Amino acid sequence: MAPTAQESALTDGVVSVRGLTKCFGTVRAVDDLSFDVTPGRVTGFLGPNGSGKTTTLRMVLGLTAPTAGTATISGQSYRDLASPLNTVGAALEATSFHPGRTGLDNLRTYAPLAGASDARCAEVLDLVGLGAAAERRAGTYSLGMRQRLGLATTLLGDPRVLLLDEPSNGLDPEGIRWLRGFLRFLAGEGRTVLVSSHMLTEVQQSVDDVVIIARGRLVHSSSMEALGALSVPRITLMSPDAPGLERLVAQMSWSATNRSADGRTIEIENVTAADAGAAAFTAGLEVHGLADRSQTLEETFLRMVEVPPGPQSATTPATLGKAS
């Protein structure tokens, strides 16, 4: 059923995943996943290798049938979209280009599918910074240039939504910097930009929001800012007075997570360096060292996605028994 005008206004450009599940035999690759991706923002879709990112994107694009659940783009499933290539641009794996044809000619072969004119082909090549190389054979392009050509292909139909699977793969630092700016530019135009990656560090400067999955399940979804706020403050405090140090920890009800064998160095969680310094000063404790060891964003991410101890691996999750 076609959505009403009011429903369309609410869902326009939103990628919405609800209870999405995919089983490959006994492997539950995607497990009851629900999240929304909003327009005007760059969203990082993060998880370790094999966590189900590509399978999820394939289900959003109607390339893989879900075992259960739904995935919609602007309120409609991919197959119900009136003109899919003008709604969603997707780069799932390195697009294969004809090496003997120029960059421009390669785009021209995809253009009719997206209803794109010759002028649009030249325009998107300019957009991705390949204007000067338009007449060069794609076989002579560097990996970074081929990635840009792939991006140009996804933009041919001027889609509102972009789904990019590991777009920074193979890019050098300059290419990654360029991509970061380009994704921001696209989101700034009001597009929905979803970028998958298995490393938070690779995208943390490019994304506004994060959707983090592990073993096919959602483990976290928030703004990048809120993810940063989850980082646990942690310090190490050193004193030659081991009993005094221990007394202070007990008196302040601090949670000590590690102690050196001689008891003169203690690692404490959920305390800032400023608070620890002030407490030691008030207690008259002689301090020989105070270091901030707060969890980095990457540590927060790794903690979220780490495989729990036990026999199961990332590809054989504990939920195997539920697979059908």
Positions touching ligand ATP (CB under 6 A) are 24, 27, 29, 47, 49-55, 198, 315
Dig out the tokens for 323 from the structure.
């697979």
* CA 309/CA 306 separation, integer angstroms: 9
Concatenated DSSP letters of 114-139: HT--HHHHHHHHHHTT-GGGTTSBGG
Give least dist CB 172 to ligand ATP, A: 20
Nearer to ligand ATP, 250 or 320 (CB): 320
Nearer to ligand ATP, 257 or 312 (CB): 312
Nearer to ligand ATP, 76 or 315 (CB): 315
Nearer to ligand ATP, 28 or 148 (CB): 28
Nearer to ligand ATP, 24 or 281 (CB): 24
Give least dist CB 132 to ligand ATP, A: 33
The answer to whether 235 and 267 are in contact (CB under 8 A) is yes
The alpha carbon dihedral of 281, 285, 291, 297 has a sign of negative
Give least dist CB 52 to ligand ATP, A: 4
The answer to whether 122 and 156 are in contact (CB under 8 A) is no
The answer to whether 298 and 201 are in contact (CB under 8 A) is yes
Give least dist CB 93 to ligand ATP, A: 9
Nearer to ligand ATP, 27 or 134 (CB): 27
Give least dist CB 210 to ligand ATP, A: 15
State the angle between helix axes of 103-114 and 118-127 in degrees (0 to 180), rounded to the nearest 10: 120
Give least dist CB 43 to ligand ATP, A: 15
* CA 297/CA 305 separation, integer angstroms: 13
* CA 18/CA 86 separation, integer angstroms: 24
* CA 290/CA 277 separation, integer angstroms: 7
Burial of 162-194, coded b for 16+ CB within 10 Å and e otherwise, reads bbbbbbbeebeeebbebbbebbbebbeeebbbb
* CA 176/CA 39 separation, integer angstroms: 22
Give least dist CB 47 to ligand ATP, A: 5
Nearer to ligand ATP, 25 or 284 (CB): 25
Nearer to ligand ATP, 257 or 315 (CB): 315
Concatenated DSSP letters of 142-165: -HHHHHHHHHHHHHTT--SEEEEE
Give least dist CB 64 to ligand ATP, A: 8
Dig out the tokens for 206 from the structure.
């490019």
